[in-house]
Amino acid sequence: MDPAYALARTRDEYDRLARQALFLRGLTERLLRAASLARGMRVLDFGSGSGDVALLAAELVGPEGEVVGVDVDGDALHVARGRAEALGLGNVRFVEGDERSAELGEGFDAAVGRLVLMYRADPADTLRRIVDRVRLGGLIVFQELDLDPAVASRSLPETSLWNETGRTVIETFRRAGTQVRMGRQLFGAFLAAGLPPPIMRDEAVTGGGPAFGGYTWLAEVARALAPLTVKLGVAEALDVDTLAERIRADAVAREAVVWTPSFVGAFAVKP
């Protein structure tokens, strides 16, 4: 297992990933469609977790296509299989292992992945092995966070609990050894993996007011990381139970507009 994996492997975390996936679904669907992921394709989803990208891809490729999801975390895949079954999707299966596992097969029409290379010690090397599984002329599509610590503010006005929480999250990921600039590093990783310069997309989720969904998303990321935040000395004990409501109340009181870090997408065709 990769030492840089900062998150827990628990039912709570799998549920959080599924809620996060709802928040991110539009971003990822737009990227997969822009990359021309289409009906009938055989797709490899790398780092499936509880299955959201694989389930989305399974919808896009339809019953005549197939999705194989892979993850090192067998418990997460158990959740993913249950979700596929509940949705009646017969065109998706999950394999426990990593990019080296023989059971994955090869000759895929596309390989996709979201929020996974950022946890690899050597993302370019991992990507190269994934590209090996894709046929010539096949698609490679990844979406990763760009958590640039140099960006001082993701809120207007700048003083806000949203900003403070965001900085804590980024610093925790950084100290945990996560590739915090993975979003932009996708460009170099694609080149190092023998791919042409990828087409790139940069999207953030932005909003304000009492109904914005981002407060809960950020608070849940902070909550998932909280033990590490304290252990790595980024902050003292956090009151994570009330965090979402405090971020919301603070943003509403300041009439702030807030935005997430960039979710950077990259896609290319294997030459």
Judged by the rule CB under 6 A, the positions of this chain that interact with ligand SAM are: 2, 5, 7, 17, 21, 47-49, 52-53, 70-73, 76, 98-99, 114-116, 119-120
Nearest residue to ligand SAM, by Cβ distance, number only: 49
For residue 96, give the 3-state DSSP assignment: strand
ω into 196 cis (within 30 of 0): no
Instruction: Identify which of residues 120 and 248 has a Cβ nearer to ligand SAM in the complex.
Output: 120
Minimal distance, residue 156 CB to ligand SAM, in Å: 28
Q: Which residue, 72 or 230, is less far from ligand SAM as judged by CB?
A: 72
> Collapsing DSSP states into helix, strand and coil, what is residue 181?
coil
**Nearest distance from C-beta of residue 114 to ligand SAM, angstroms:** 4
Residue 146 in 3-state DSSP? strand
Nearest to residue 14, comparing CAs of 82, 100, 95, 67?
Answer: 82
Least distance (Å) between residue 14 CB and ligand SAM: 8
d(CA 93, CA 210): 39
In the complex, minimum distance from the CB of residue 263 to ligand SAM, in angstroms, rounded to a whole number? 10
| DSSP code at position 121 | S
Nearer to ligand SAM, 144 or 250 (CB): 144
125 vs 245 by CB, closer to ligand SAM: 125
Nearer Cβ to ligand SAM, position 47 or 166? 47
Separation CA 160–CA 97 (nearest Å): 41
Across-strand partners of 94?
A: 69
In the block, tokens 């030492």 appear at 3
CB of 153 to ligand SAM, least distance (A): 25
Q: How far is CA 199 from the centre of its chain?
A: 18
> Which residue type occupies 215?
Y
Q: Tell me the two tokens of residue 218.
A: 């950020």
Q: With contact defined as beta carbons under 8 Å apart, do 144 and 114 qualify?
A: yes
Q: Cβ closer to ligand SAM: 21 or 195? A: 21
Minimum CB distance to ligand SAM, residue 35 (Å): 16
- Strands of the sheet containing 257-259, edge to edge, are 155-156, 257-259, 206-208
Nearer Cβ to ligand SAM, position 129 or 135?
A: 129
Q: Quote the least distance from Cβ 11 to ligand SAM, whole Å.
A: 13
